[in-house]
Structure 1
């Protein structure tokens, strides 16, 4: 078996319009396709991340909240590679997004930091 790359990450949001704006307007991810599923009263928004990866943004009427502690079992965070952590941090902050101080990965020497999506999902930006 050979896994080639991560095809997509699925995210369930609590407020579809707010999260759609965050991922498309603030993070700048292009929309591939938007689908409303009447039988589930649910939207599915496919967003491109680079040439090969996607985010599937789902809405459901009453999703349970995500555990708030960072060391819970399961997916810990979503990480995006960026050419400049400082420039990306400044752009996020100009959109009133709280961003943690920049840190240095002690194993790689690379710069990184974290911020949250509208539902508190931790997102990392990691310098190439």
Structure 2
């Protein structure tokens, strides 16, 4: 198999309006397709920012989702690369969104190859924002 790139990540939510607002108004994704009543779901929506796509969907009708936890198997967070970590952080704060994860009492902290911060989306997804590609 010759994988070329990541096509999208799918995020389920029970707080659709809040999650959609977070990804569009706070993180700057654009709605490219919103489909109501999609395969027993109230909504299935495609969001895009440059080459990154998120499929945001509600749970199937009459289904309750488990609350997000970093103790679940599978993906733990999504990480986005930005040019300037401080500008990205201030942009989110200026929109009065304050659900940041602290490390050693700090919202922005140094890692081996740069800086990062983590913000929690309304449905619980942990979003990591970093300024360096290194691992």
* TM, length-normalised to structure 2: 0.82
Aligned positions of 1:81-100 closer than 5 A: 81-94=81-94, 95-99=96-100, 100=102
Unaligned runs of 5+ in 1: none
How many pairs are equivalent? 124
Counterpart for residue 119 of structure 1:
123
Counterpart for residue 54 of structure 1:
53
Cα distance in 2 for partners of 1:9, 1:66 equals 18
Asked whether the equivalents of residues 23 and 29 of structure 1 are also in contact (C-alpha less than 8 Å), the reply is yes
* Paired residue secondary structure (2:119): strand
* Paired residue secondary structure (2:117): strand
Q: Which deviates the most, 94-103 or 7-16?
A: 94-103
Change in CA separation of 1:8 and 1:23 when aligned onto 2, cut-off 3 Å:
same
1:104 to 85, 103, 110: 110
Cα distance in 2 for partners of 1:41, 1:34 equals 12
* Paired residue secondary structure (1:83): coil
Asked whether the equivalents of residues 28 and 49 of structure 2 are also in contact (C-alpha less than 8 Å), the reply is no
* Paired residue secondary structure (2:10): strand
* Paired residue secondary structure (1:124): strand
Cα distance in 1 for partners of 2:66, 2:93 equals 25
Change in CA separation of 1:38 and 1:102 when aligned onto 2, cut-off 3 Å:
closer
Q: Is the aligned partner of 1:40 residue 2:37?
A: no
RMSD of the TM alignment (CA)? 1.7
* Paired residue secondary structure (1:55): strand
Unaligned runs of 5+ in 2: none
1:87 shift after superposition: 1.2
* TM, length-normalised to structure 1: 0.86
1:38 shift after superposition: 5.7
